[in-house]
Structure 1
């Protein structure tokens, strides 16, 4: 590839490697988009989830399970029917495998979202907490050890906890998480315990549609309980047994007045704004309420008022604080202000907070909003939003404490609740990462303590994956706690990106793994279980403007792991291990603004691919390997008008598939269809196999490849199974909390079924089969290494369960197979499969019952890459010597460097894998412009070197690799030219034009430059800049990135004034130097131009100069 000529000509068109303005994507957790993802699929095609729908489903499950137990007792022993013991009795138990805790890529461990805290007034170390969808937990030692208390209750979504101050063993829990996010699930009313959480009574009351955010028990009368819910302020006069509405609106906070036994404060705070929003007070134990607005100028705001959180000082009872979210369209979610009253709400004053600090409060106070004042000192106030903030002088000045303390513990973001102990000695903190505390609330630098070591409350998304060779290795995506890696113990490790999503492990090279974060963000690692190996972007070519699910599907081809699929509103395919993506479908949503929720490949046929959308479309292609020429068929007829959540293809027959659906339709006017459907003709017709399944969203499905007619499904009410093809369903095993299950995956060799829950971490259950497995397996392949360019070759394969009809597949394609016996077979690999270096994958497939695909084995096609001596040069000046500058564009030369020729010809950021090739320099995987068997062009990483330094360069091509040392230095200037030699006509544009400063007509639009005009010199290797863009990303334009050193430029031997030296805006690795043509230069077609920076000269080039006027 002649980069020099491309730069010279294509720069004029402004189209090479240049970014264009477009939608900005971020990796940080976005609660509003998460809300849309979680909630809308359960409500669709309506706009809300019917009241009590999930509670009804849970009760249906309980009745089904009771009936199933009765049948089993009456018909024992059921195992005689040949069914798995795990699904014929209650002896099979689910086992927690963590995370407990997680490592969220920080110096401290995390667990998951916590919303509520209640501290026993008798003991600062006895604390109850409420997790998002993880239920109530209790500690008796200040958070060192936690115990779950409500796993069997009808709702684990917890929004509020209150302890009766008169009888501290009495605990009230408000279910339903009132954080105003869509995955803040509805609750099931109030849970009450009178024995410190040992047992519970559920009072549904009027709260079927509610999420409860606050509860308070009257200090002088335990019969009076006040709660705030999404439908208002409610009062009980009989200790929570019955409830009455006392104030309408969106209730947020309730708190009894420390100075008045009958006084109660409440806030109403709809995040979207409402005339009802405000602070209220009752003087008669909550029977009647009066707004506390104040009077101008000492008043609360009346416009743009959203969610309001309140704190009352026990040390100075007339002192009240309220933190208010801005509900205006322009500033939605920002801090409107913190207001203080010192006369019990009669007057209010807005506290002074600098604009800079207000900006740090974050844009999501509708979601993370809490405030507390020390019970012993009204001057000590903490406010929580995106981060935690503090005032030590009653609110007159505010600071942002260091989120990492001297002990190195980092406080997680997104604060939901703060609670001081009664004596003010300790502050407990609840956030999206779990639980923390500090005993240093007034210290200049606060030490935070993570209390997450024994909490198992991580919220997982769909798409968990298990290493096919080892069930003790797995990856799954978690809400705001990264992509989590399981290595066999309770403590999991976050390995990449914010809200993790779908993950995939290459079955033939388990170190190769992929992860999809929220929206369009795909990453890859070459060594999953090496903590020092980086995850890099693997999304080159994906259109960032595509409509997409918050958690978008990513899957590997079941036969060829080098092929991946990702979906937005269309399906994308990569055939080079995530290096480059191509759209292989049109809009599959029917043009109705939906997105693709699930995609599934067929284990028996790589050409068959199914896709299901958020707006009830199901589409199928039978020629996926045709790439962009694949044709798609709409197979939605006969399916319900709800979101398709998951598709699973039968392991033996690509025409047989199962589709699951979300929503609560039956009895609520949407449709009468079920949640699980089957096709036996590639979607031409569908059969509802929901049987006695409750009306509950089904989120995932697994087809058991070894037990005929056996299916497992993940639902919003747990995991259920059928062994009769869907006629009857019941819960699988015992011990799984009553929780939403998002992800379900079967590890076939070990028969471990794994469930990823949305609030109670991950659980395993064994589902053994009677007798030996019939799945084929491959143990050895000989030869295991082949040479590129070889003639047709016969491979000898050993393994087990080979049959006369066994087919051996090379990269997903059947190849001529000879059956020898049950443990031996041979396969013919044609020369066309061995044309280039890289790797091939071999899979055995049996089409009979219990067969399906085997494990995947990688076969190396060599030889390994080989480098040309001194073949490491600047891409601008190949003849300039084998030393490279940091952030420069470099080239390497050799043989077998790549299996194919591939060009990064789409918008940056650049890919880190291209054509299956990856390049690592000094431990940094680097972005690639171009790869071919003989040459690779790349961007050098920034390595902070101070002089010429030798670092290792590693090239990986599949399972092949080679390492060589290269020299890097801070600066090594090189100018681009119109030839491949780094000499002659330079790549220099006349400013304000698209013309090269070259003889007229020599290049399209070229002309000589005149004295006084400005030119832009394009080069690389000018060293460090004041604004460092991410490696492989385009350079900024506002402000521009300038070099730390300024070069000198002479033209025709005359010094020229440099007006700018830095990175060319919108380009990757390209530098630009702007100079004015000085007077007095002798005109000519080849006037020499010389550039020097940091005493290092670049290669001289020429430009054409006119005499001027």
Structure 2
């Protein structure tokens, strides 16, 4: 073919693609925001603190990947300040104490374990967090310390650890003298060595000490230590540095990670935790120039995992008291010689990463750890755990089919959890609705689809349980090879339940294991599906300090995907880059990864998602950041892996890909989660839009679409679970095409199933009388969530009529809804139109019956219809005949209420007319005014006499209720109106008879008063020629 013709065809095809591209304008979806539901009782990793010294009730806490949080009341309540920058992982915080409106935040964790979160530079706010400015250093990956010069707020020095996953020059000590506009790297060793710590002399801001750290990670191994590590001192504010060596008392040979701390009460006293061949605490008495070892060689009480935590802190008043924060917290009272326990692991979570001591009151301490934030105000005698920070790092998410459905997931260092997607109790989704089902590091878990009382939960290193959530029984069911072959399980091993045969579960080591008896026995149905590279199976990680916790287990299965369309089709992905598929239940396997063009070798396969539409179709998610590659990868095949299409790259989204889901009903609707957020496509992956409505740059670790409720359920690695309710508007965008939808004046969407649920009292507390500190996850009502698109103008709202029609086409409810341009979402309370109220309190009509209803949305001459199913409360038995009788009873009550309302309104209107006459006539001559006013007051007295036989007379002081009046008798029936699902009682019938008997005599009195006395009064007024009362 002629090259010119070929080029023309390529351009034409490209133009066709651009026409069909459907980027989403997220401003049109402002009403569609995911709910943050928790849990917060598990909380999650805290990485940094800073506190306003002039007002220590104002506390800032940085988190591993949940953003920056602030408390302005000493830790009682918390608000998120920053989670929508380039990264939500916080490594350091620094307040300008001379101007606490100015806060600097460095992103990226400084404790680089296998599951660390990555940063993207440094930010500053000058308005206490309302707005943020990006200051650069994006490629440093982690900023562990920020030092602000107290004498010049434009000067800052930061410690950048650099990425552990590769070698690059963006690491070391950086300094700015212009408030972050430009940076100079003032201390740099090499491409493997970053800054682990940075401290400043409390008496001299120009004196700094830095700890440099040579470290490196691979997926199967990590090394801490090397020639690049060491201690450096600067006397000119970080411009130049002088290295301390063994000649100055430090250990000979390679050093590893080092933690530093000045003694605030004696700045000549400096301490260092030094990782070497024998880890120890060192002390300097001349400000960091010369050192001597003070702790015993290899004393485990100082901490045994320096790569993960090596921070030390000195009491601000007592220079001999040092805290070492590590798996636990230990303390020395003798200048570092001996160490003992300070924090009990039985009351406070392990794995401590952040510590702050009040500079004037050392009994007040903040402790940040893998389980959240704990503080003490009596120096550790008692600890208070903050229960309102939803920071859990979930690896996976599952759902069941209960009503409401429950959400399941395993969390980093916080076990495995189950909790409700919504609560039918007062007070929102509180922590005590969540149940921890297993301990340790939680990973994948799955409720048994046959009976969700039981299910699978997993811990690190392949530890698999089959649990009973009612009794708490844990049956250990980790597979054993029948010939004694050592099984390799990933830190986050793969687990899956068969989509067709619900009795079958699969588990991955290097082999694929299958059980149909809840793990009592296992069958190996594959050969070794990994590369089985022995170079990646030497479990001696750590470098200077061994650390073998299964976190670096490699050449293992990390993803399993049995097809929901065809039995025997199973996909498997491995951490060393294989993608295997069987079409015969495991008898034969085909490694298809070589067909995935452009995929780096040995890349980590995070997910394999079989299609809901075709057994030959699948999606593969690859996370290659462990090989220093943060490019997003998702591949798609339609022919069992013979050929692949790449769906995403770094022109579509930011960050390594973690998760993917295709909508099971509309194939063009897709979601992708990366380390830096959530993306959506409505055109089968041609274009992608970041979801920014109510959702930050959070690590979107896993997702599932609930098959009944059509919710997108999200597991984040740092902000617990989220639920994007009812994604059917997005389905419609995908099915109709964005342009077709946006051209419509109105478009209604089918609503989720609605339930006439009773909302009960909450557990453990009174519903709302709990103060402000308790966590309440965003809840959703069981009522009908109605969504429609409206093509509006600018930012103006207009009235749109929404009607609810029953199965006979009769309008049962009319709602005049304010609508703005874009998606509009509101709640219908499952009520019908009521009587015209005398006051706003009783405007609802009777509840509608269970059934299918039509939603009709109208604007001018345009209208659109959709459906909603209304169900009875599934927790109770209802009888249709009883409901029919109850509905008739409620309609009768509605009519009686209308009659009482009409009498009340008529009397009130008559009285208002008289008062208007009296006010007007006071402008006339006294001889004219006095008789008119007197006649009016007599009429008002007669009206009030009847009015207060219908309604209670207001008390001159306090409150008062008269049980003899007509409205009170009506109230005896009103209690039976709460639901059509409750049958009529004898008591209800008696109350109804009483009000039925009382209304006609009162109507006769009102009719006589208004038809005779008030009519005569009107004639009298009009006869005077005043014409103040109309005849209407």
Q: Quickly name the TM-score band, shorter chain normalised.
A: 0.5 to 0.7
Alignment pair present for 1:508 and 2:450:
yes
Which position in structure 1 is the counterpart of 2:639? Answer: 681
After TM superposition, give the deviation of residue 684 of structure 1 in Å.
Answer: 2.8
* Match of residue 302, structure 1, among 252, 258, 264: 252
CA distance in 1, matches of 2:698, 2:337: 44
CA distance in 2, matches of 1:336, 1:677: 46
Alignment pair present for 1:100 and 2:55:
no
Which position in structure 2 is the counterpart of 1:245? Answer: 185
After TM superposition, give the deviation of residue 387 of structure 1 in Å.
Answer: 1.1
After TM superposition, give the deviation of residue 495 of structure 1 in Å.
Answer: 2.1
| SS of match in other structure, 1:318 | strand
CA contact (8 A) 1:459 1:757 kept: yes
CA distance in 2, matches of 1:364, 1:471: 43
Which position in structure 1 is the counterpart of 2:678? Answer: 719
* Match of residue 553, structure 1, among 467, 480, 494: 494
Tell me: CA distance 1:131–1:768, structure 2 relative to 1, closer, same or farther (3 Å): closer
CA distance in 1, matches of 2:581, 2:671: 23
Which position in structure 2 is the counterpart of 1:496? Answer: 438
TM-score, length of structure 1 as denominator length: 0.56
CA distance in 2, matches of 1:544, 1:518: 19
CA distance in 2, matches of 1:305, 1:190: 28
Tell me: CA distance 1:338–1:133, structure 2 relative to 1, closer, same or farther (3 Å): same
CA distance in 1, matches of 2:514, 2:356: 50
After TM superposition, give the deviation of residue 557 of structure 1 in Å.
Answer: 0.7
CA distance in 1, matches of 2:629, 2:394: 28
CA distance in 1, matches of 2:264, 2:67: 29
CA distance in 2, matches of 1:71, 1:338: 56
CA contact (8 A) 2:88 2:676 kept: no
1:571-586 correspondence to structure 2 within 5 Å = 571-586=512-527
CA contact (8 A) 1:124 1:422 kept: no
CA contact (8 A) 2:202 2:264 kept: yes
Which position in structure 2 is the counterpart of 1:348? Answer: 291
Compare 90-99 and 727-736 and name the one that shifted more. 727-736
Alignment pair present for 1:221 and 2:157:
no
Count how many residue pairs are aligned between Structure 1 and Structure 2.
Answer: 657
Tell me: CA distance 1:324–1:745, structure 2 relative to 1, closer, same or farther (3 Å): same
Alignment pair present for 1:517 and 2:459:
yes
Which position in structure 2 is the counterpart of 1:9? Answer: none
1:670-701, Cα deviation, whole Å (9 max, x unpaired):
99x97333322222332333386336433222
After TM superposition, give the deviation of residue 164 of structure 1 in Å.
Answer: 1.5
1:36-78, Cα deviation, whole Å (9 max, x unpaired):
xxxxxxxxxxxxxxxxxxxxxxxxxxxx9xx9667689xxxxx
Alignment pair present for 1:318 and 2:277:
no
| SS of match in other structure, 2:257 | strand
CA distance in 1, matches of 2:476, 2:328: 28
Which position in structure 2 is the counterpart of 1:535? Answer: 474
* Match of residue 724, structure 2, among 765, 773, 786: 765
CA distance in 1, matches of 2:185, 2:231: 17
Tell me: CA distance 1:263–1:425, structure 2 relative to 1, closer, same or farther (3 Å): same
After TM superposition, give the deviation of residue 369 of structure 1 in Å.
Answer: 1.6
Q: Which residues of structure 2 form unaligned runs of 5+?
A: 1-17, 162-170, 216-223, 423-428, 537-554, 733-748, 754-1032
1:693-704 correspondence to structure 2 within 5 Å = 693-694=652-653, 696-704=655-663
Tell me: CA distance 1:130–1:524, structure 2 relative to 1, closer, same or farther (3 Å): same
| SS of match in other structure, 2:319 | coil
After TM superposition, give the deviation of residue 760 of structure 1 in Å.
Answer: 1.6
Compare 392-401 and 140-149 and name the one that shifted more. 392-401
Which position in structure 2 is the counterpart of 1:635? Answer: 592
* Match of residue 394, structure 2, among 436, 448, 460: 460
CA contact (8 A) 1:369 1:415 kept: no
CA distance in 2, matches of 1:637, 1:243: 43
CA contact (8 A) 2:411 2:443 kept: yes
Which position in structure 2 is the counterpart of 1:256? Answer: 200
After TM superposition, give the deviation of residue 622 of structure 1 in Å.
Answer: 1.6
| SS of match in other structure, 1:291 | strand
Alignment pair present for 1:165 and 2:97:
yes
Which position in structure 2 is the counterpart of 1:413? Answer: 350
| SS of match in other structure, 2:140 | coil
Alignment pair present for 1:383 and 2:330:
no
Q: Which residues of structure 1 form unaligned runs of 5+?
A: 1-63, 74-87, 103-110, 329-334, 776-1109
Tell me: CA distance 1:470–1:581, structure 2 relative to 1, closer, same or farther (3 Å): farther
CA contact (8 A) 1:361 1:386 kept: no
Greater helix fraction, Structure 1 or Structure 2: 2
1:204-227, Cα deviation, whole Å (9 max, x unpaired):
14x413411111112222222111
1:857-896 correspondence to structure 2 within 5 Å = none
Tell me: CA distance 1:759–1:572, structure 2 relative to 1, closer, same or farther (3 Å): same
Which position in structure 1 is the counterpart of 2:230? Answer: 278
1:723-762 correspondence to structure 2 within 5 Å = 723-732=682-691, 734-762=693-721
Alignment pair present for 1:449 and 2:407:
no
CA contact (8 A) 2:623 2:632 kept: no
| SS of match in other structure, 1:501 | coil
Tell me: CA distance 1:410–1:190, structure 2 relative to 1, closer, same or farther (3 Å): same
Which position in structure 1 is the counterpart of 2:124? Answer: 192
CA contact (8 A) 2:321 2:331 kept: yes
CA distance in 2, matches of 1:470, 1:557: 23
After TM superposition, give the deviation of residue 705 of structure 1 in Å.
Answer: 1.8
CA distance in 1, matches of 2:247, 2:325: 27
Which position in structure 1 is the counterpart of 2:795? Answer: none
CA distance in 2, matches of 1:606, 1:94: 35
CA distance in 2, matches of 1:70, 1:689: 17
Tell me: CA distance 1:493–1:226, structure 2 relative to 1, closer, same or farther (3 Å): farther
CA contact (8 A) 2:23 2:689 kept: no
Tell me: CA distance 1:678–1:360, structure 2 relative to 1, closer, same or farther (3 Å): same
After TM superposition, give the deviation of residue 181 of structure 1 in Å.
Answer: 2.1
Tell me: CA distance 1:213–1:695, structure 2 relative to 1, closer, same or farther (3 Å): closer
Tell me: CA distance 1:288–1:756, structure 2 relative to 1, closer, same or farther (3 Å): same
1:252-278, Cα deviation, whole Å (9 max, x unpaired):
222221233432222223352233433
TM-score, length of structure 2 as denominator length: 0.60
Tell me: CA distance 1:774–1:258, structure 2 relative to 1, closer, same or farther (3 Å): closer
CA contact (8 A) 1:482 1:500 kept: yes
CA distance in 2, matches of 1:695, 1:391: 45
Tell me: CA distance 1:591–1:389, structure 2 relative to 1, closer, same or farther (3 Å): closer
After TM superposition, give the deviation of residue 295 of structure 1 in Å.
Answer: 4.8
CA contact (8 A) 1:68 1:730 kept: no
CA contact (8 A) 2:710 2:752 kept: no
Tell me: CA distance 1:400–1:238, structure 2 relative to 1, closer, same or farther (3 Å): same
Tell me: CA distance 1:226–1:534, structure 2 relative to 1, closer, same or farther (3 Å): same
Structure 1 vs Structure 2 CA RMSD: 2.9
CA distance in 2, matches of 1:700, 1:261: 46
* Match of residue 474, structure 1, among 392, 404, 407: 407
| SS of match in other structure, 2:300 | helix
| SS of match in other structure, 2:577 | coil
Tell me: CA distance 1:696–1:282, structure 2 relative to 1, closer, same or farther (3 Å): closer
After TM superposition, give the deviation of residue 90 of structure 1 in Å.
Answer: 4.1
| SS of match in other structure, 2:462 | coil
* Match of residue 146, structure 1, among 71, 75, 78: 78
CA distance in 1, matches of 2:628, 2:120: 22
After TM superposition, give the deviation of residue 361 of structure 1 in Å.
Answer: 4.3
